[in-house]
Amino acid sequence: MSVDANKMYGAVEAGGTKFVCAVGAGKEIIELCRVPTTSPEETFDKVIQFFQSHRHNLCGLGVASFGPVDLNPESKAYGFITSTPKPGWAQTDLLGTLRRELGLPLAFDTDVNGSAVGEAAYGAAQNLQDFIYITVGTGIGGGVITNSHLVHGLVHTELGHIFLPKHPLDSYIGHCPYHGDKCFEGLACGPAVSERWGIEASDLSTEHKAWEIQAWYLGAALSSIICAYSPQRIILGGGVMDVPGLLEKVHKQTLAHLNGYVKHPDIQENINNYVVKPGLGEHAGVIGALELIRRKLESQGSSV
């Protein structure tokens, strides 16, 4: 696909560690910049600066953000990052700031919903009606697509906070400020691995038993997710999943936890193709954000 300079979009994947900003169309990114997430003011300044230099080429801007966020267009806080525990970021008007400074049509969703939309359009979930995108990194979250549509519901999903049983040999108190050692994120996000073993997760040997326990939790979560949604595929992204061998351990633990209860050849006979890494790699979120705004403008019949 070649990029038509008249149909270019901007995209922001707003994360707790960095904001990834891009200009592109479809799955093609023609320019990309990473802005460290510092204070909202400083971060927004750099993001706006990036897009202002491309302003005249852009039809609109897609924003996929860490959360919790307010996705209700009727709400006064629409487009805000709301009750995040991230210092300085609670009740931040992300979308309003971008609208005021850039004056572009905007689309807005959670980071993981953005990634799910990207994977559906160009990645590992093409032609699937029901799948889950999960990221396991600094936090854990999931984008849920059922019957080919994103699930938003009352607020938005918070898949990192489903509860899990405790591994029988794990005495770690958990990382979640809300749920301690009861929830998926509290037990299995990157910082939980680091805290459990008293060493940066990235410094743990790939042979360390940490990864067996991590795979046990991820397998338990995936077994729950299979029971909850009956997806056609699960995509596992995020930095933690880059650990060599971890995905294969997760395949085994998912089947072990399910224990044959949900029976389907796609699961039992083809787990390597059922639980997969993102087809778009680390660009799932930002390509998804491009797709969010493209779809919104096309559904509105805008002249893009």
User: In the complex, which residues of this chain contact a copy of itself (CB under 8 A)?
Assistant: 68, 82-83, 129-130, 144, 146-147, 149, 151-166, 178-179, 181-183, 220-221, 223-232, 257-264, 266-267
CB of 294 to a copy of itself, least distance (A): 20
Contact call for residues 131 and 138 (beta carbons, < 8 A): no
CB of 235 to a copy of itself, least distance (A): 14
CB of 147 to a copy of itself, least distance (A): 5
The secondary structure of residue 4, as a DSSP letter, is P
Burial class of residue 86 (count of CB atoms within 10 Å of its CB; 0-12, 13-18, 19+): middle
Q: What angle do CA 66, 249, 189 make, to 5 degrees?
A: 25
Contact call for residues 15 and 81 (beta carbons, < 8 A): no
Residue 3 or 155: which CB sits closer to a copy of itself?
155
Residue 21 or 258: which CB sits closer to a copy of itself?
258
CB of 43 to a copy of itself, least distance (A): 24
Burial class of residue 141 (count of CB atoms within 10 Å of its CB; 0-12, 13-18, 19+): buried
Residue 170 or 282: which CB sits closer to a copy of itself?
170
Interatomic CA distance for residues 81 and 94, integer angstroms:
7
State how far Cα 172 lies from the chain centre.
25
Residue 146 or 194: which CB sits closer to a copy of itself?
146
CB of 127 to a copy of itself, least distance (A): 14
CB of 188 to a copy of itself, least distance (A): 13
Residue 37 or 157: which CB sits closer to a copy of itself?
157
Q: Which residues contact 79 (CB under 8 A, 6 or more apart)?
A: 63, 69, 70, 93, 94, 95, 96, 99, 106, 108
Residue 98 or 221: which CB sits closer to a copy of itself?
221
Residue 102 or 267: which CB sits closer to a copy of itself?
267
As given in the structure block, the two tokens for residue 240 are: 């933690």
| DSSP code per residue over 156-204 | ---GGGSB-PPPTT-----SBTTTBTSBHHHHHSHHHHHHHHTS-GGGS
Residue 31 parent element (H or E): strand 28-36
The secondary structure of residue 227, as a DSSP letter, is H
CB of 253 to a copy of itself, least distance (A): 12
